[in-house]
Structure formats: structure tokens, C-alpha cells
Amino acid sequence: MNARASGNIAVEMRAISKRFGGVHALREVNFSARFGEIHALLGENGAGKSTILKILRGVLAPDSGEIVVDGNALASLTAKTAREHGIGMIFQEMSLVPSLTVAQNVFLNNEPLGRTGLIDERAMRERSLAILRDMGVEFDPAALVGDLSTGQQQLTEIAKALSQEARILVLDEPTSALTASEVEILFDLLRRLRSEGKAIIYVSHRMDEIFQLADRATVLRDGRHIDTRPIGDYTLATLIADIMGKATRDLLEYATDPTGSEEVVLEVRNLHSGAGAGASFALHQGEVLGIAGLLGSGRSRLARMLFGLEPIASGEVLIRNEPVRITSPQMAKAAGMALVPEDRRRQGLVLQHSVAQNIELPVLGKLSPSPFISGRTGREIVRDIISRMNIKTHSPDSDVNTLSGGNQQKVVIGKWLATAPDILIMDEATAGIDIGSKGEILRLVRELASEGKSIIFISSELAELLAVSDRICVMARGEIVQTLDARQLVAGDHDPHSELQAEQKLQLLLQQGRRHG
């Protein structure tokens, strides 16, 4: 099938609504993309973008509304009908099989067959090579996907969609792990596909990409359609205002007076996992240091390097003015550090174990010098953590997998507090939890700071950063490009001459990603 004439409607979603329990993910949202355009779909986390993409992919069915694909009205899509109607999805978390070749991935579940009914490997390689060349890229279709660069893997995903004759391509944060040269290759390809009449729906948090690529932009906020305009009608400031709303969300009830001292507990000098200038900052005793940055800026990598989970290629770490070499989590723990990781279910918990076993895990060595664990000491620690963290569980012996997301996160934080760290690194500590648990964690952060703990607080939620941080470091390309006083930024909200609120100003700085000072 060929793409239709440029300008015709490729896909239209009319009054789409979707609820999850009592939460409205989408409220009568209208969205349409045309053949021969790159259409940006924009919004903060929780705005409804992921739900729209899942509906287009056929993973979710809308509660109400209508989907029209190239003139065909449908109540909903399945993964099969989405493919049949020419919708191809290129995911942020790629769906490729690393142990298969490029050609085998491109034609996975759609393999060409020979006369004997067996897969024709030669034809598959030749057709894959033709698709790649038509895309303007050259790499071996017989190569294992696991051996490719991230950019080549992303291009393989696009080749896979094109092999299925996709006319509508949806890309979700496609550049988050790409190098600058790989991004240019991808952009050149997308512009060429647009000129060939493909409809491209492009999701990204990087506004510079949107202004480079997009013809039009649709903004969602809190599950509602806010506006659709030609990208030329926006400035960076007005686009951010549409995405975030006019008023900063008020989380300042969780803020307290600064508790940091002059003493530097942790100093990081030019820390990097590869080439480049690296990240440099200082963390003071009793301070909450926020780390803000776009997806792919290096925030989580920084946390992993500090905790010995990722090798450090260059740079220096000093704790209380003494250089330390951290190559494992055990060494980080011995240096008085703890990490609450980004993904609690995969990195923070043993889901088949009990609440008590999860809390005891980081402190097993302290419970008894012998191979046998002291039950009494362990129970006291577990009881104290459950009480302090207000973990709602039927019993300490209940499987942690039976707890709500918010209570699971409290277990993750609590088990590391049991190690009595001096420095606590929290990576997206409130992601995916209910508002009540979120408030408890934000209060806890300020309480720990008042007790003298030094905290690195990494978050995508700018309102949270402004509420709990004393200072905020802006991160881009693995570097700290600017450090701000959070209280001064919030105080600017009362400036009648300011067009943007504190949260919007911080977002503007993230998008600019330039070094200041």
C-alpha cells in the first residue's frame, strides 16, 4: 500500500475517553495526523500520551469515542488490525530480539517462505538490505542486533515497521539514547519519509527536536486536549506554558526552611562514564540537592556511577574531602551511601520475599557476625522501619508483592534507611505512586535533611524538585550545566512582570540545556 496524498487525514481520534478505575486518563480527546507531516504529540508525564499510543497500538481499547484510519471508522484497534491499517510503532524501549540478526528482526513473524514452506533466509536478507538502502542507511542485515549501536537498532525498528508497509509511523522518545550523529541520521530519514507521504507521529520531551522536525503539535494536559497548532505559531515559552499550564502545581506545603550547613559531604569532579567534561557538584551536610534533566541527560547514570553500579571512566569522588574509589555497591555502602533506584520492582525489591526479608536484606551483615541471623535484632529493625515509614501491611511476613505501589516504595526507602546512610540518593522516588504516599515521601525527605542526612533527589516532576530541594542542578549531556537556588526560583512566582512560573522557568532551562556562569 502506498501513502495517500500529502495533506489527507491519515488517522483521526474523535472524543476518545479512557478511565482506569476512578482516574480519567483521557477525557474526550481529539487528535488527527495527516499524510506528509510530522505531528508532535506533547505533554508531561501523566498527560495521556502513553494511553493514546497504546490505543493506537491496539493494546488498549477506548471506553468511548471513534478512531478513523485512512477513512475507515473503527471503535478500537487490535495489534493485528493496527498493522493491517498501516500503523507502525517504534518504541522507546525497543522490541528487537538481540540474539537474532537484523533481517530476522525486520521480518519477525512475517518471514518470507521458500517453495518448501521453510523460511527463505537469503530472500529475507536481500529484502532487508533493500529496505535499509531505501532508508539511506548501510549496515549488514546478517549482523546480530545485539552487536549494533543504539542508533542502528533504532533504524532496524523503523525498517521493521516499513517491511510491514506502514504508512503511519509512531515514534516514542526515539532519541533518548542516541548520539548526536545518530540523531542526525534519524532526522534525515524522518524528513525523507515525510516527503514520501508518510504520516509521522513524534513523541518527545525535547523541545529543540520538536522545533526542528514538526509541522504541527498537539498538546495534552491532564488527559485533555489543550491545543493543536502549526509549530511556527509557538515559541519555546508559549509551548511550555501550554504543556504545563499557567499555574505551578502547589507542592510547597512539603517545603521547610533550608537545613544545609557549609560542610561539604560529597564532592564530584568531572565524573563521566565515557568521553566528555563530566558532572561536577558539591553536596552539603543536611542538604537536599535536586537533579533535573530531560530523558537521556544522564541523571540515572550519575546515580548508578556514584553507587558503584556503573563503571566510572573518568573523574573523582570525594567524601568529606577524602578521595574514594567506588567500584561496587558494597564499597558505596561502606562509604555511607545508599541508593533508592528508579525501578522499584526490578531493582529495589525481591518481589517473592516478605516485607521483613526485603528490609533486612541490606543489613544482613549487621544482624549477626555468625552465618545465622539474629531474629530478635532483625525484627526490631523491621518493626522500626514499618512504623517510621507508615508501611501498610497485614504482617511483616506478607509478600512485598501484595502491597500497593506506594507501600512497596516505602519498603525500598525504609530498607536503605536501615543501613543508616549519611548520603541518600533517591532516583524517581515518587514515580507511579498515589498522591498520599507521594506526600509522605516528600515530607520524609525534608525530615531526613533536618536530621543531618545529605540527599540527592532525582525527579522528572519539577514541582517536587522545587518543593523539597535546597538547590537544583540542571543536567544535560552528562554535565551539570547550571545550579539554582530553589527558594529564589519559587520566590520569583510573586514577580508580576514574570511571564512564567517557577516550574515553567525550570522547564525552560532544561530545554535550553546550556551552561551558565
Residues 108 and 85 in one domain: yes
For residue 174, give the C-alpha cell.
526515539
Examine residue 4 and state whether it is found in any structural domain, yes or no: no
Q: Would you say residue 280 lies in a domain?
A: yes
Residue 512: closest CA among 217, 305, 211, 244: 211
**Is the Cβ–Cβ distance between 183 and 175 less than 8 Å?**
yes
Of 213, 244, 275, the residue that ends a domain is 244
Residues 197 and 68 in one domain: yes
**Radius of gyration of the CA atoms of the chain, in A:** 25
183 and 98 co-located in one domain: yes
- The whole-model pTM stands at 0.71
Same domain, 315 and 446: yes
Residue 214 backbone zone (phi > 0: left; psi -120 to 50: alpha; other: beta): beta
Do 90 and 135 belong together in one domain? yes
Task: Cell numbers for 255, please give them.
Answer: 517545603
Cell readout for 192 is 525523507
161 pairs with which residues across the strands? none
CA separation for the pair 508, 153 (Å, rounded): 31
Q: pLDDT value at position 497?
A: 45
Torsion of CA 4, 78, 191, 182, to 10 degrees: -160
Is residue 47 domain-resident?
yes
Report the length, in residues, of the chain.
517
In a domain, 43, yes or no: yes
Place of cell 568531572: 270
Please give the pLDDT value at position 14: 95
**Predicted local distance difference test score (pLDDT) of residue 113:** 83
Angle of helix 180-195 relative to helix 150-163, nearest 10 degrees, comes to 20
So what's the pLDDT on residue 366? 65
Last residue of a domain, one of 380, 403, 420: 420
Buried/exposed code over 27-40 (b: 16+ C-beta within 10 A; e: otherwise): bebebbbbbbbbbb
- In angstroms, the Cα distances linking 257 to 69, 249, 260, 286 are 55, 20, 9, 11
* Residue 343 belongs to some domain of the structure: no
* pLDDT values of the chain reduced to their tens digit, one per residue, 517 residues: 445 666 699 999 999 999 988 778 999 999 999 999 999 999 887 788 989 998 998 889 999 999 999 888 988 888 889 888 999 888 765 678 999 999 999 998 778 888 888 888 889 999 999 988 888 788 899 999 999 887 888 888 888 888 888 899 999 888 876 777 778 888 988 999 999 999 999 998 888 889 999 999 999 998 999 999 999 999 988 898 898 875 545 566 777 788 888 999 999 999 988 756 689 999 999 999 999 988 778 899 999 999 999 999 889 999 999 999 999 999 999 999 999 988 887 888 888 899 998 898 888 766 555 455 556 677 888 999 999 888 888 888 999 888 878 888 899 999 999 899 999 999 998 877 766 788 888 999 999 999 999 999 999 888 889 989 999 999 988 899 999 998 888 876 555 545 457 888 888 888 887 665 4
Q: Are residues 375 and 229 in the same domain?
A: no
Answer yes or no: do 117 and 263 share one domain.
Answer: no
Domain count, the chain: 3
The enclosing domain of 507 has a CATH number of 3.40.50.300
264/126 same-domain check: no
Same domain, 415 and 354: yes
Cell digits for 357? 526479608
Mark whether 32 and 132 lie in a shared domain: yes
Residues 289 and 379 in one domain: no
pLDDT tens string 439-493: 888 999 999 999 999 999 999 888 889 989 999 999 988 899 999 998 888 876 5
- Classify the phi-psi angles of 280: left when phi > 0, otherwise alpha if psi is within -120 to 50, otherwise beta: beta
- Domain identity same for 224 and 304: no
Instruction: Look at residue 155 and tell me if it is in a domain.
Output: yes
| 89 inside domain | yes
- Expressed in angstroms, the distance from the first to the final Cα of the chain is 54
pLDDT of residue 494: 58
Domain boundary among 399, 420, 441: 420
Domain that holds residue 407: 350-420
Using CA atoms, how far apart are residues 517 and 508, in angstroms rounded to an integer? 17
pLDDT value at position 12?
Answer: 96
User: Does residue 2 form part of some domain?
Assistant: no
Q: Are residues 119 and 99 in contact, defined by beta-carbon separation less than 8 angstroms?
A: no
